[in-house]
Amino acid sequence: MTNDYNSWIKENKTFLNKLANHNSLLYDNLNDVVKVVDYINSGKPIPKDIDSKLFFDTGYAYLNTTVSELKLYLEKYFNNDIHILLEYESLIFYSLYLDEIKMLIIDQNKYTETIKAEFDRILQEIEDTLSQRRPFSDDMITDFNIALESVLPKDVTYITIPEIFFRAAEELNIM
């Protein structure tokens, strides 16, 4: 698995560096995951309370999926122009966040038709905005949050993979 990751990171380093060099919110979302996976991959000692195989596998899968999605957005909607993609990064970030929240709800068997309808509506609005390169504001995301809060189960803990990896990076002292 580490050979696959090493090949993957080499193949995607330029793209990740472009995001980092632009102080991208999208890169910030990936940064701690990359740090922790790189740290585990380096063979340095890991505290016993961190399951290094689980963190490595989860982190690598998350990075691979997320970077693939970002590259797809870049190609499909923005003609491989990273600057245009970055104009929409908060909306793309929100879409990635929604995907994670959706999976958490599904994993806890709390994904109802009402929740599905709201997720579908929001994701379609995001998709339409991106595909048509329509202007948007942070108010749009605020409206999405208000709509989601009205349908999401209150008894589910919403901790995303980047948040988990942020905590792991803190514990590993690699901030």
pTM of the model: 0.91
Q: How far apart are CA 94 and CA 174, in angstroms?
A: 26
Where do the domains of the chain lie?
A: 2-171
- pLDDT at residue number 1: 66
The string of pLDDT tens digits covering residues 20-39 is 999 999 999 999 999 999 99
The string of pLDDT tens digits covering residues 95-136 is 999 999 999 999 999 999 999 999 999 999 999 999 999 999
How many Cα atoms within 13 Å fall on the side-chain side of residue 103?
A: 9
- pLDDT at residue number 94: 96
Written as six digits, the tokens of 45 are 């000692």
Give whole-number Cα distances, 5 to 38, 39, 43, 66, 138, in Å: 9, 12, 14, 14, 35
